[in-house]
């Protein structure tokens, strides 16, 4: 699906569509695998899809499917919810299964064992369940067992099959949505096989690990298909602590989403960059060995500061944010790099990411004033951008300034739209403003596509201006 969004330019009426088929996707992935091997990197593969692909259902993305076309001999494998078995909200990838059924577990374990045997270049195979919350089977045999207990049963069955094939592939298991609640009875038999992956997708990014990880907190009771997912980091971490007590896994990491959606709410990228930096510094204190960033690959507009700060803090937990960000801006923009740093720091402050997250009132005199101030800051910095574009020859430094110029063009309109939201514009007006801004953005995709995921920006921009 991610390849498809780019090559077909989904949602961009101005772009030329390209044909994409499975053969082309496989060729792209094969090329990636060769480059990974060339660099001696560890290859993590798969994730969602094991609950659909092995049963003959579409596992290539979050596509809807015809529920009436499910063969009856396959329907019995699907989770029973409200007395019915079918695709959860019409999407196979979001559909959990009847995990108390030994045949379901066997089919999944056999599929994973065969896949590992056929793809021995994979170092870490991810085994995740369906990508949905509160969607687990309610049949008589499932309802009395936590999803995480059934999950651990499958992990142990997978390990047995891999051991019989003499495969040393590591299996990554996912602490996510309903699986936040640790198993009550089942335990992992061979901890050396497994890596724990903590994925707090519902967390607040206005909170930082460093401020929350030591706060005492208790987990909410598990209620099948009625559980409330935690937003506060302290609550998320209380679930992680429970898993640490029962999992026995010797390896673990954070799987986090700073650069999937939230960075596009932070117009200057400063809040998200500092948040990433501080979260990475705190991982060892939380018992986590590293980070896999679930993010857009094109997340460098206006700068690549968040990625650089994430890398610096993962490499050296004692480094200083101001020093490292100075190094970045001077490298990316040259002599005026520190002026760019202060400009974008002020843009982040005035655009107020907590306002675009809807953590503040929609109508706000303070924020309306700030967006007016932001327009002045953008206009005043325009002369600095123009001077560098006149002086710099073609190359990387000039390209940084070109992107900054494009960025200033777009955020002027974003500031005006957000100011109207803060002044009290109704939803109909906000929708119209969003459409006008986004139409200008998609027209500029040919210039920006290497650093800016325009497709993903659509929903984020709408949620900032219209409604969360």
455: nearest Cα among 313, 297, 324: 297
415: nearest Cα among 454, 448, 369, 372: 372
Predicted local confidence at residue 163, as pLDDT: 98
Q: Whole-structure pTM over 0.85, yes or no?
A: yes
Is residue 219 pLDDT above 90, yes or no?
no
pLDDT tens-digit readout, 379-418: 999 999 999 999 999 999 999 999 999 999 999 999 999 9
Arithmetic mean of pLDDT, 32-43: 96
Buried b (16+ CB within 10 A) or exposed e, 90-119: ebbbbbbbbbbbeebbebbbebbbebbeee
pLDDT tens-digit readout, 317-346: 999 999 999 999 999 999 999 999 999 999
Is residue 151 pLDDT above 90, yes or no?
yes
**Distance separating alpha carbons of residues 97 and 80, to the nearest angstrom:** 8
Is residue 218 pLDDT above 90, yes or no?
no
Structure tokens at 148: 């995480």
Banded pLDDT at 23 (limits 50, 70, 90):
very high
Q: Phi and psi at residue 169, in whole multiples of 5°?
A: -55, 135
Banded pLDDT at 243 (limits 50, 70, 90):
very high
Share above pLDDT 70 across residues of the chain, in percent, rounded to a whole number: 100
**Distance separating alpha carbons of residues 444 and 96, to the nearest angstrom:** 40
Predicted local confidence at residue 356, as pLDDT: 97
- Number of residues that make up the chain: 468
């Amino acid at each position: 699906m991610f390849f498809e969004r780019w090559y077909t330019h989904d949602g961009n009426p101005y772009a030329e569509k390209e044909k994409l088929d499975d053969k082309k996707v496989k060729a792209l992935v094969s090329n990636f695998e060769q480059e990974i091997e060339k660099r001696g990197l560890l290859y993590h593969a798969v994730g969602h899809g094991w609950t659909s692909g092995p049963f003959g259902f579409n596992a290539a993305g979050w596509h809807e499917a015809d529920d009436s076309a499910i063969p009856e001999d396959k329907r019995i494998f699907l989770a029973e919810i409200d007395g019915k078995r079918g695709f959860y909200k019409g999407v196979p990838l979001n559909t959990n299964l009847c995990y108390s059924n030994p045949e379901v577990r066997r089919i999944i374990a056999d599929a994973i064992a065969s896949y590992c045997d056929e793809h021995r270049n994979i170092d870490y195979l991810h085994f995740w369940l369906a990508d949905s919350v509160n969607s687990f089977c309610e049949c008589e045999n499932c309802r009395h067992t936590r999803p995480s207990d059934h999950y651990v049963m499958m992990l142990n069955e997978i390990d047995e099959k891999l051991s019989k094939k003499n495969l040393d592939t590591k299996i990554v298991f996912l602490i996510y949505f309903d699986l936040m609640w640790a198993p009550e009875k089942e335990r992992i038999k061979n901890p050396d096989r497994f890596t724990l992956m903590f994925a707090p997708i519902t967390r607040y990014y206005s909170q930082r690990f460093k401020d929350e990880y030591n706060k005492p907190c208790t987990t909410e009771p598990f209620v099948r298909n009625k559980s409330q997912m935690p937003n506060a980091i302290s609550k998320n971490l209380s679930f992680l602590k429970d898993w640490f007590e029962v999992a026995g896994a010797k390896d673990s990491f954070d799987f986090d989403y700073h650069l999937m959606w939230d960075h596009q709410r932070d117009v200057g990228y400063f809040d998200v960059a500092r948040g990433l930096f501080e979260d990475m510094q705190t991982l060892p204190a939380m018992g986590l060995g590293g980070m896999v960033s679930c993010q857009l690959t094109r997340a460098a507009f206006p700068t690549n500061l968040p990625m650089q700060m994430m890398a610096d803090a993962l490499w050296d937990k004692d480094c200083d944010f101001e020093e490292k960000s100075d190094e970045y801006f001077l490298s990316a923009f040259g002599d005026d790099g520190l002026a760019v740093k202060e400009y974008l720091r002020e843009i982040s402050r005035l655009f107020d990411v907590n306002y675009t997250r809807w953590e503040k009132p929609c109508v706000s005199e303070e924020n309306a004033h700030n967006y007016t101030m932001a327009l002045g800051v953008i206009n005043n910095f325009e002369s600095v951008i123009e001077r560098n574009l006149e002086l710099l020859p073609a190359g990387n430094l000039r390209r940084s300034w070109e992107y900054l110029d494009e960025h200033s063009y777009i955020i002027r309109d974003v500031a005006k739209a957000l100011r109207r939201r803060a002044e009290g514009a109704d939803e109909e007006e906000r929708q119209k403003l969003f459409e006008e801004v986004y139409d200008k953005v998609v027209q500029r995709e040919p210039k920006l596509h290497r650093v800016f995921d325009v497709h993903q920006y659509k929903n984020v921009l709408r949620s900032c201006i219209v409604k969360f």
